[in-house]
Structure 1
């Protein structure tokens, strides 16, 4: 069974550094580790990179490795479900082998939490995936971006860049989130939660 790892975000350079795009950033890090390239399969509305994850992480080789497709939808966040459903069908991936990486307002900046199933907590990407798949029973890797300061709206907050002072910490935490995905694929949810929570 192929794993499908989805990094949520909005497409294009305008959104690339936004808090809402941490899923894309983690997907890019996983592909970088495996020296895998993203391509855009016809009709999928997504960029996909094929790699393997084993005890040595992304890019590992050998019999104990799992086949993993890492994808970034090329649609806006609220339309993520269509591409996820198409790519999942192509790879014959069921929800119990689906991992979605997304930003989380209710966690402090850089906190990484893993869970299976649950609600969508107002996240438009998760809502769209639930609508397209007919279930929310898949794994989530939640990346904390914290709450907006003062009276700033959550919508404006998620569509703003991380400040320069957070860049170094951001790189470290993106790496941790990629580690969490590797651990979840290779060792399962409980061990991954024990290691990263």
Structure 2
């Protein structure tokens, strides 16, 4: 399962906090899939086949601080463990255009991740794909910063990093059967 963290689509789609959903939309487009709303999962979903594995894609359509409800609901329905889920999210510590894969337990202050960890009620390492959005100069502006739209140049950097991540991953066939079994990413 691959999840792109987000706030409700209509109001917040173009904000920095929703770059996780941008990734899922780009991934679905890459595989020529359309995300459909599934109310029982509180979000938009589709599935793709990668090396004969059926991978569920999810974009929660509820507020970030309760994204765990959506993720847990779908994971429970399909019997998917937290360590088999790749969470895509915005990261203040990385500059726009920078992305990193991380495998650990913890949320680093991200409310969406915090809620997912609490929803699964387990201390287990899981995969996170961190997409850089930069950081405001003033710490008191973090909330308004993540809920605002990136500048035109930041948006280009972010979208290019998402496209590069998808192209690189599938062009180089990083997600081969050996690594899938070895790492349990999915």
Q: TM-score, normalised by structure 1?
A: 0.81
The correspondence of residues 15-164 of structure 1 with structure 2, limited to 5 A, is 15-53=12-50, 64-135=51-122, 136-150=124-138, 153-164=141-152
TM-align CA RMSD: 2.2
**Residues 85 and 184 from structure 1, CA distance in 2 versus in 1: closer, same or farther, beyond 3 angstroms?**
farther
Partner SS for 1:37: coil
Structure 1 residue runs without a partner (length 5+): 54-63, 193-197
Q: How many Å separate the matches in 1 of 2:174 and 2:143?
A: 30
Say whether the 8 Å CA contact 1:26–1:177 is kept in structure 2: no
Deviations 1:91-147 (A, max 9, x none): 221122100000011111121111112321110000000000123521100111111
CA separation of 1:148 and 1:79: change in aligned 2, threshold 3 A: same
Higher helix fraction (1 or 2): 2
- Bigger CA drift: 179-188 or 40-49? 179-188
The equivalent of 1:195 in structure 2 is none
CA distance in 1, matches of 2:106, 2:174: 20
CA distance 1:103–1:68, change in 2 (3 Å) = same
Consecutive unaligned residues of structure 2, counting only runs of 5 or more, are none
- How far did 1:74 drift? 1.2
Q: 1:18 to 1:181 in 2, by over 3 A?
A: farther
Deviation at 1:151, TM superposition (A): 5.9
Q: What are the Cα deviations for residues 51-108 of structure 1, in whole angstroms up to 9, with x where unaligned?
A: 112xxxxxxxxxx332111100111000001110110112221122100000011111
Kept in 2: contact 1:141–1:181 (CA 8 A): no
Give, in whole Å, the separation in 2 of the partners of 1:188 and 1:161. 36
- SS of aligned partner of 2:36: coil
Q: Which residue of 1 aligns with 2:11?
A: 14
TM-score by length of 2: 0.85
C-alpha change, 1:51 and 1:149, in structure 2 (3 Å) is same
* Matched-pair contact (CA < 8 Å) for 1:7–1:27: yes
| Number of residues of Structure 1 aligned to a counterpart in Structure 2 | 177
Q: Does 1:176 align with 2:164?
A: yes
1:185-196 mapped onto 2 (5 Å cutoff): 185-186=175-176, 188=179
